């Protein structure tokens, strides 16, 4: 038995070594040369050990200033030094992708204050993202009298190399600091809302569970989740293993290296970013199970989530079965955006989609709403709702319809309206001297573009954003 145990151990070690070596070899062979924005790994970002209960929001912003100053000095390329100043490179000052093209650097933490706040909202963006993705939702809440903080998570908004170091614990410490700041600004009685998009959804969900267990943390009165990262691919767990040779083979730290054409989101993806998503979702799910067993999830404030029925970044079934099915308390609802059933792509659609299973469920402890075609031959959409505990469905037209060119939404589309300057289908970023990714409909010869055709074809705006915004309005009254 000892011999077999030793053999098994050696086999496991050998398999891990093979994965590490294979990952490093694949990265060297597959990835292009790393650029300065991949190699800069700032040590100026505040870590979890520094962000104690006495660490202030102003201190966080000062550290953010230092991080952005470092990136400008070490990475940004003046127009005079660029071979092609019109190139879509966010790090060339005259580029159409430079973050200042829209007048405000939305990569930075954004604060919308008001003299007498009716409430407060802390908004947390997604992985590789920036506060820009919270721009429209924050503006909507601010119009209703909310003090809002769209907080930049460490490693984001500057250079993709910034995500080689941070951990999810660093981000969680920043979320706790942000919640303290909002609660302090609005006072003890005004409603506190947490909004999380993608990885930010995992973080604000984890924060709320922490607040259930730690009364010193401000408890939110409402949680809003947009494409929440509740479950990710199992391969994300191997990302850190694959990058183990990073100190020797720098490319091994990266899963993808692409031109950085997006002014407010990294296109390249370091292995550490994938590893941290696996770690935070694992911690979140373990805590959900533990608090469920101790009946503490009854203290969960109402959660409203928006999720595309098809999502290649996060798991839609995990949002339903690993999150909502565990929640206690009342007032929870998940809104699912179905495929466009009138798009004429039935013959090419993969089987086993989530919608039929949800509609067939006879009774759940939370409300499920599905936005789907009013009829198979109609582009207009209705909200089909099964209220918590109900056996029957209700159907209500929402006054919106699918654009003819869309067959579904995507993970990235939900928080962006049609007129978003960068991502919207009617975005005016191009007219303002920048770029309009949402208006690109690439059709032509292959091997012409310098960026992935898949990324350009992925829908980046939500034709049902007015519905999403209205539901957030109603939920936060």
pLDDT by residue (tens digit) across 30-43? 688 999 999 999 99
When pLDDT is cut at 50, 70 and 90, the band that residue 341 belongs to is confident
Summarize the chain as % helix, strand, coil (round to 5). Answer: 40, 15, 45
Query: For residue 236, what pLDDT is reported?
Result: 55
Query: For residue 452, what pLDDT is reported?
Result: 75
Indicate the range of 87-91, 268-272, 343-347 predicted with least confidence: 343-347
CB 209 within 8 A of CB 201: no
| pLDDT single digits (tens) 139-156 | 999 999 999 999 999 999
CATH class (in words) of the domain with range 35-299 = alpha beta
Query: For residue 420, what pLDDT is reported?
Result: 97
**What are the structural domain ranges in the chain?**
35-299, 312-411
d(CA 301, CA 328): 9
Work out the percent of the chain whose per-residue pLDDT is above 90: 70
Query: For residue 413, what pLDDT is reported?
Result: 96
**CA 175 to each of CA 60, 181, 183, 312, 320: distance values in angstroms, whole numbers, following the listed order:** 11, 10, 12, 26, 24
- How, if at all, do strands 110-112 and 367-373 pair? unpaired
Query: For residue 277, what pLDDT is reported?
Result: 94
pLDDT reading at 468 higher than 90: yes
Query: For residue 19, what pLDDT is reported?
Result: 47
| pLDDT single digits (tens) 82-121 | 555 546 899 999 899 999 998 899 999 999 999 999 999 9
The predicted model gives 258-266 an average pLDDT of 95
Indicate the range of 18-27, 284-293, 386-395, 440-449 predicted with least confidence: 18-27
When pLDDT is cut at 50, 70 and 90, the band that residue 273 belongs to is very high
């Amino acid at each position: 038995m000892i011999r077999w145990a030793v053999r098994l151990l050696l086999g496991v070690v050998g398999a891990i070594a093979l994965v590490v070596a294979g990952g490093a070899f694949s990265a060297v062979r597959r990835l292009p040369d790393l650029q300065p924005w991949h190699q800069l790994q700032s040590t100026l970002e505040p870590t979890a050990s520094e962000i104690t209960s006495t660490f202030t929001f102003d201190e966080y912003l000062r550290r953010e200033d230092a991080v952005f100053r470092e990136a400008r000095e070490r990475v940004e390329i003046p127009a005079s030094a660029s071979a092609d100043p019109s190139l879509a490179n966010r790090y060339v000052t005259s580029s159409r992708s430079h973050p200042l093209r829209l007048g405000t650097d939305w990569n930075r933490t954004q604060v919308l204050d008001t003299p007498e706040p009716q409430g407060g909202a802390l908004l947390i963006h997604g992985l590789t993202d920036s506060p820009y993705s919270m721009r429209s939702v924050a503006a909507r809440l601010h119009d209703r009298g909310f003090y809002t903080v769209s907080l930049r998570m460490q490693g984001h908004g500057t250079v993709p190399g910034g995500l080689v170091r941070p951990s999810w614990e660093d981000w969680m410490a920043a979320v706790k600091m942000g919640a303290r700041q909002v609660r302090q600004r609005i006072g003890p009685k005004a409603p506190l809302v947490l909004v999380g998009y993608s990885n930010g959804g995992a973080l604000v969900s984890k924060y709320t569970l922490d607040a259930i267990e730690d009364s010193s943390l401000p408890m939110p009165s409402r949680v809003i989740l947009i494409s929440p990262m509740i479950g990710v691919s199992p391969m994300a767990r191997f990302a850190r293993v694959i990058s183990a040779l990073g100190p020797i083979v720098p490319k091994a730290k990266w899963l993808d290296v692409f031109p950085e054409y997006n002014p407010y989101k990294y296109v390249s993806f370091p292995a550490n970013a994938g590893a941290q998503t696996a770690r935070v979702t694992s911690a979140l799910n373990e805590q959900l199970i533990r608090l469920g067993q101790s009946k503490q999830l009854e203290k969960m404030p109402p959660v409203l989530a928006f999720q595309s029925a098809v999502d290649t970044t996060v798991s839609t079934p995990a949002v339903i079965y690993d999150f909502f099915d565990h929640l206690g308390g009342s007032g929870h609802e998940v809104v699912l955006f179905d495929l466009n059933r009138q798009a004429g792509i039935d013959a090419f659609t993969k089987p086993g989609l989530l919608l039929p299973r949800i509609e067939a469920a006879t009774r759940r402890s939370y409300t499920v709403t599905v936005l789907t075609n009013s009829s198979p031959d109609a582009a207009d959409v209705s909200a089909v709702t099964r209220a918590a505990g109900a056996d029957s469905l209700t159907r209500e037209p929402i006054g919106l319809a699918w654009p003819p060119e869309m067959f579904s939404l995507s993970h990235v589309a939900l928080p962006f309206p049609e007129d978003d300057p960068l991502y919207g289908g009617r975005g005016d970023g191009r007219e303002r001297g920048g770029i309009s990714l949402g208006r690109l409909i690439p059709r032509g010869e292959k091997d012409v573009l310098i960026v992935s055709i898949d990324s350009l074809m992925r829908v980046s705006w939500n034709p049902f954003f007015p519905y999403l915004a209205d539901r957030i309005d109603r939920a936060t009254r």
